[in-house]
Amino acid sequence: MEKIEFIRDTLRKYYDSHTVPAPPSIERREFGAGNDKKIDWRHMSFPAEQQLNAYLRSETPLYISYSAGYYEFPEGRPMPKKNWLGADLVFDLDADEYEVDCSHSKDLVCDKCMNRVKEECIKLIEEFLIPDFGFAHDDLHVVFSGNRGYHIHIRREDVHGLSQNARKEILDFITASGLKPARHIRRRGKHLLGPRPDDWGWPGRITRAIVDEIGTGNEKSIARRMGMSTSTAKKILAKKGLVLGGIGQGDWDQVNLDPKTWRRAFGLLAIEMNAEVDKGVTMDVSRLMRLPNSIHGGTGFIACEVPSLDKFVYYNDPVVLGDGDVRCIARATMDVVLKDKVFELEEEKQLALPEYAAFYCAAKGLVSIWG
Amino acid sequence: MFTRGELQFSVKYPFSSATKGLAKWINFDFSSVEPRLLDRAKQRAIEGIETGRTTVETNTSSERIMIAEILSYPLAKIIVGKTRDKFLISRYARAEARAFQKFLLHESPANLGALARDFGFSISDAVIPFTDYLKYLPREEEYKLVNAPLKDGQVQVDNESIAHLLPEKLRDQIEKDLYQPMDVPTVFDTYAAEVAKETNRDKAFKITEEFGKVEAGIFPPCIKLLIQEAESGQPMAHQPRFVLATFLVNVGMPVEQVTELFRNTPNFNEKKTRYYIEYSLGKRGSGTKYSPPSCEKMVFYGLCRNKDALCERVKHPLKYYSKKKEVKPNA
Ligand code: SF4
Ligand SMILES: [Zn+2]
């Protein structure tokens, strides 16, 4: 059997027996779907859940996406005719974005890269979205992308109207781009003034890291993290109490350092503490995102909401397809782990895989379907 | 009863709540406005649109002049609104905001506080929600959110940042007001027609390019397609890259933002991209500022794609953009 037939049959079977819930305000959303490229058609809309599911059952695209944006006329084209009413705030974190030294090809994943995305996602939420931006856990819908990453959808009404530019400001905050150390560590007359540890935003965050490093680090770690020479670090440590006391009051002058030294430390720590996200997605207010609870045609995984990132296992939890046997021929030699089972593929050998594993491996080109 | 001091305040801040009772006090009648008042209002509108800032006579003790100055604000608003011209409206709103900012920067804390209250900011709490902050974000780099004190969704503000936020809010309000239907005597239509005709758009457009927000929604189809391609992460050849970068730089998009756009392309190289954009700006190399190619050349390069009706009437992608900027809403 052709791979595409198998994939489509399996998807159709799934959609026939399941209902994909409508995203909130479905009638205001634009939909896009595709088979080869992830989005071959867009500008579609569905008035309600029923029509969306009817579409999935009859057309069964490999990928279906919906707009983070809300439109008066979601089917209108070109874009301006839709009349944009607002958009959810979305973040996209994908394994490709990070430099992790994995040995596999670009379409596969491993624990290393998947853990890295997960950590980054947790960092974004716990260190920025909640404490700085004041979002509650309930405001943040974390959705597994169905393949290599996570999307965070924030649907709170006060973010709908944020312009593209405003969204870029949010990103710049998270990635610490445009942070100007010279604005925060300044000479006033004879004094070198700077932030205090309890200040809000980046200045406070970095100051706390500096205080922490001086308080607990040694000259080597200080020199490395703050980008200064060990002799400078020594100078600071020699007056540790005074320096920490001074910074506590916003006085950065207790050791006689060139302001540039502190500013460099500021910049380096910002880079260390920022979070990385796909910038394009957050800024683009007309971007289409994978529809939550649809099946990703490149893996067979469900793009499910993730209640707890800590506990989420990317090769178990999103497996929803059936487990009837499918006869395959391996096209590569490797182990594939799904639903806590190891499938040993050996090139050119026949084997029977449960449907979910056959789907995953066929979509990734690791097996051909036999019979 | 308005004192001289109060009138002086209202000359600078005609939109403040302190000015509210004025019309009643002088028995102002919209159905028979003196021509000298309308003339002054028209002048205010044109000056603002062309130069990017309105000015008022603050050095006078004549009650008559002060009242004319104050009234020129609501009257100019009606006149500009009546043009139904998106470009003029946004230019005018920006001009009033800049005039406002200039006064605010020299204002006493007490007056600043009072004006802030008029705009719904309560300085005593010294915080505003980050969504409002972003909505009225001043354009200066130093007010970027990343440099602002943000916690629990609130941004701490001080007098200085307030003096930068309020004008943005004023601008937003003026724009909103001017799109409302207005039930006023027909003489305003006459004045509106005059403003639309007499304003030098080229002058105004130059300022837009320098300060303006770039409206990507009205880019020509060929450019929109290139943007999509850049964003989708396909590798991009030199020619389309050059076209896109020069176009964006020419409509006033900051180098930062243009660089960002290319970040997704697989052959992205930040340094190179930046160099290249600065090159097209004329900051590097020969110092010549580059423009994107004409439509004719675009056809030749195979980059004229998705032509639409307006394309038939332009010879250059930049012209498409400037024409779209002039399009009248509701017309
Ligand atoms: S005609 Fe001009 S504006 Fe229209 S697509 Fe071609 S190059 Fe672009
Ligand atoms: Zn990996």
Please report residues of B whose CB lies closer than 8 A to that of A280.
231, 263-264
- The structural domain count of chain A equals 3
What integer is the mean pLDDT of A121-142? 95
Q: What is the CATH number of the domain that holds B190?
A: 1.20.930
- A180-184: average pLDDT: 89
Name which of B145, B154, B172, B225 to mutate to probe chain A: the one with the most chain A Cβ atoms within 10 A of its Cβ: B145
B287: pLDDT strictly greater than 70: no
Neighbours of B258 (CB within 10 A): 24
- B143 and B216 within one domain: no
* A103 Cα–ligand 2 center, Å: 7
pLDDT band, residue B28 (cuts 50/70/90)? confident
Same domain, A114 and A230: no
Quick one: which of A184, A205, A204 has its CA closest to A196? A204
Cα B19 to averaged position of ligand 1 atoms, centre (Å): 50
Domain boundary among B151, B183, B198: B198
Q: Quick one: pLDDT band at residue B208, thresholds 50, 70, 90?
A: very low
- CATH of residue A192's domain is 1.10.8
- Bigger pLDDT: B45 vs B22: B45
Same domain? B115 vs B226 = no
Give me the domain span that covers residue B227. Answer: 205-330
Task: Calculate what percentage of chain A has a pLDDT beyond 70.
Answer: 98
CB < 8 Å to A173, chain B:
145-146, 150
Question: Are A147 and A25 members of one domain?
Answer: yes
Indicate if the pLDDT at residue B5 is higher than 70.
yes
Same-domain pairing of B28 and B43? yes
Measured between CA atoms, the residue of chain B closest to residue A39 is B232
Catalytic position from the list A16, A92, A138, A323: A92
pLDDT range class, residue B211, cuts 50, 70, 90: very low
Interface of A with B (CB under 8 A): 78-80, 131-135, 158-159, 161-166, 168-170, 172-173, 176-180, 183-184, 199-204, 279-280, 283-284
Report, as an integer, the average pLDDT of A261-265.
92
Length in residues, chain A: 371
pLDDT at A262: 92
**Single-letter amino acid code for the residue at B28:** F
Residue B240 Cβ inside 6 Å of ligand 1? The answer reads no
Whether residues A157 and A27 share a domain: the answer is yes
Give A175→chain B minimum CA distance, Å: 9
Position A173 confidence tier, pLDDT thresholds 50, 70, 90:
very high
- In 3D space, the residue among B173, B70, B179 whose CA is nearest the CA of residue B118 turns out to be B173
User: In B266-292, which positions are buried (b, 16+ CB within 10 angstroms) versus exposed (e)?
Assistant: eebeeeebbebbbbbbeeeeeeeebeb
Tell me the pLDDT band of A52, cut-offs 50, 70 and 90. Answer: very high
Which residue from B307, B310, B313, B315 has its CB within 8 A of the most atoms of ligand 1, so it is best to mutate?
B307
Domain of A114, CATH number, reads 3.90.920.10
Helices (H), chain B: 4-12, 22-25, 35-51, 63-83, 86-104, 109-118, 130-135, 159-178, 187-198, 201-211, 221-232, 238-250, 255-262, 270-280, 295-301, 317-326
Q: How confident is the model at residue B289 (pLDDT cuts 50, 70, 90)?
A: low
Top pLDDT among B111 and A134 is at: A134
pLDDT band at B140 (very low <50, low <70, confident <90, very high): low
Of residues B234 and A160, the one with the higher pLDDT is A160
Residue A109 domain-assigned (yes or no)? yes
B307 lines ligand 1 (CB under 6 A): yes
A201 and B216 in contact by Cβ < 8 A?
no
Residues around ligand 2, an ion, CB closer than 5 A? A 102, 110, 112-113
Phi first, then psi: give them for residue A337, nearest 5 degrees.
-110, 125
Using the mean position of ligand 1's atoms as its centre, give its distance from the Cα of residue B323 in Å: 13
Q: State the ipTM, two decimals.
A: 0.88
Decide if pLDDT at A321 tops 90: yes
**Same domain? A41 vs A159:** yes
* Residue A364 to residue A362: CA distance in whole angstroms: 5
pLDDT at B206 over 70: no
- Say yes or no: B159 and B14 in one domain: yes
Instruction: From B198, B229, B249, give the residue that closes a domain.
Output: B198
Confidence band for B89, pLDDT divided at 50, 70 and 90 = confident
One domain, residues B260 and B183: no
Q: Cβ A173–B213 below 8 Å, yes or no?
A: no
A13 CB-contact burial (10 Å; exposed 0-12 / middle 13-18 / buried 19+): middle
pLDDT higher than threshold 90 for residue B309: no
Q: Is the pLDDT of residue B327 over 60?
A: no
Domain identity same for A114 and A68 = yes
DSSP A23: P
Q: What pLDDT does A29 receive?
A: 96
Protein residue with its CA nearest to atom 7 in ligand 1 = B295
The percent of residues above 90 in pLDDT, for chain A, comes to: 71
Same domain, A187 and A163: no
Interface touch B142/A180, C-beta < 8 Å:
yes
Residues B213 and B287 in one domain: yes
Claim to verify: residue B188 and residue B227 sit in the same structural domain: no
pLDDT value of position B26: 83
User: Does A165 share its domain with A73?
Assistant: yes
Q: Which of B169, B198, B227 is the last residue of a domain?
A: B198
Q: Is B204's pLDDT higher than 70?
A: no
Per-residue confidence (pLDDT) for residue B331, from 0 to 100: 32
DSSP labels, B205-219: HHHHHHHPPP-GGGS
Q: How far apart are CA A124 and CA A122, in angstroms?
A: 5
Task: Check CB contact under 8 Å for B134 and A204.
Answer: no
Query: Residue A258 has which token pair?
Result: 């060139």
pLDDT tens for B252-263 read 777 766 776 776
| Same domain flag for B183 and B36 | yes
Interface test with B, best of A175, A200, A276, A277 (most B CBs within 10 A): A200
Note the pLDDT of residue A303. 96
Residue B108 and residue B214 in one domain: no
Q: Do residues A35 and A156 both lie within one domain?
A: yes
Which carries the bigger pLDDT value, residue A194 or residue B214? A194
Assign B232 a pLDDT band (cuts: 50, 70, 90): low
Looking at every residue in chain B, the average pLDDT score rounds to: 82
The residue segments making up the domain with residue A353 are: 325-369
Q: State whether A23 and A35 are in the same domain.
A: yes
Judged by CB atoms closer than 8 Å, whether chains meet at A180 and B131 is answered as no
**pLDDT over 50 at B328, yes or no:** no
What is the per-residue pLDDT for B209? 40
A158/B134 CB distance under 8 A = no
Mean pLDDT of A167-193: 89
pLDDT for B124 equals: 60
Residue type, A174: I
For residues B174 and B319, membership in a common domain is answered with: no
Which of A77-81, A91-95, A304-308 has the lowest average pLDDT? A77-81
Residue A120 lies in a domain: yes
- Could you tell me if residue A301 is inside a domain? no
Residue A13, domain member (yes or no): yes
Could you identify the atom of ligand 1 that is nearest to the CA of residue B306? 5
Does A282 score more than 80 pLDDT?
no
Residues A10 and A148 both lie in one domain:
yes
Question: In this structure, what are the phi and psi dihedrals at residue A167, rounded to the nearest 5 degrees?
Answer: -65, -35
**B149 and B44 together in one domain:** yes
pTM of the model: 0.71
Residues in chain A closer than 8 A to B134 (CB atoms): 162-163, 166, 169-170
Which chain A positions have a beta carbon within 8 Å of B145's beta carbon? 169-170, 172-173
Same domain, A223 and A344: no
φ, ψ of residue B284 in degrees (nearest 5): -125, 175
Q: Which of A139, A278, A284, A317 is catalytic?
A: A278
Q: pLDDT band at B275, cuts 50/70/90?
A: confident
Mean pLDDT across chain A: 91
Q: Are residues A105 and A139 in the same domain?
A: yes
Helix (H/G/I), strand (E/B), else coil: A66 = strand
The verdict on residue A207 lying in a domain is yes
Q: Which of B131, B144, B257 lies at the smallest CB-CB distance from A162?
A: B131
How high is the pLDDT of residue B258?
A: 76
pLDDT the model gives residue B95? 92
Instruction: pLDDT band for A20, please (50, 70, 90 cuts).
Output: very high
Look at residue B267 and tell me whether its pLDDT is greater than 70: no
CA angle A360, A366, A367 (to 5 degrees): 85
Active site residue A94: yes
Backbone angles phi, psi at A177, to 5 degrees: -85, 135
Q: Per-residue pLDDT averaged across A358-369, rounded?
A: 94
In chain A the first and final C-alpha atoms are separated, in Å, by 6
Q: Is there a domain that residue A318 lies in?
A: no
For residue A75, being part of any structural domain is answered with yes
The count of structural domains within chain B is: 2
Task: Look at B153 and A134 and tell me if their CB atoms are within 8 Å.
Answer: yes
> What pLDDT was estimated at residue B212?
43
- The answer to whether the beta carbons of residues B280 and B290 sit under 8 Å apart is yes
Is A80 a domain residue? Answer: yes
Mutation choice for A interface testing from B125, B146, B171, B274 by most A CBs within 10 A: B146
Q: Which of A133, A164, A179 sits opposite B147 (nearest CB)?
A: A179
Identify whether residues B121 and B32 lie together within a single domain.
yes
Q: Which of A251-260, B105-114, B265-274 has the lowest mean pLDDT?
A: B265-274
- Residue A278 among the catalytic residues: yes
Q: Which pLDDT does position B329 carry in this prediction? A: 39
CB pair distance less than 8 Å for B141 and A78: no
Element (H, E) at A268: helix A259-273
